[in-house]
Amino acid sequence: MANSIEIAGSQTERRIGWLTLVFGGIATAVAAAGHHKVWAQGLVLGAALGWLNFRWLGRGLDALVLASTAQQP
């Protein structure tokens, strides 16, 4: 049911999600090019965890929005 209804702002959420990974990848590449292996590992891990956190929060809020609109008379 959640996939059949387009929730306002979902396109923006998708864009933020992939931009998180893109900027994390760019920062990782810059750190790796500067021979900072530990920094690069931290950046790639942080970008992945940030993306997961954003995705899970978005799914939770989408579920709340759908539940609240389903209860309307």
Q: What CA–CA distance (Å, rounded) separates 9 from 59?
A: 12
What percentage of the chain carries pLDDT values higher than 90?
A: 59
- Residues 43 and 27: beta-carbon distance below 8 Å: yes
Average of pLDDT values for 9-15?
Answer: 84
* pLDDT attached to residue 7: 64
* pLDDT attached to residue 73: 65
Please give the residue that has the higher pLDDT: either 59 or 2: 59
* pLDDT attached to residue 1: 44
Residue 59 structure tokens = 């799914």
Phi and psi, residue 35, nearest 5°: 60, 40
Three-state DSSP state, 4: coil
Q: What CA–CA distance (Å, rounded) separates 6 from 62?
A: 10
Residue 42 structure tokens = 């931290």
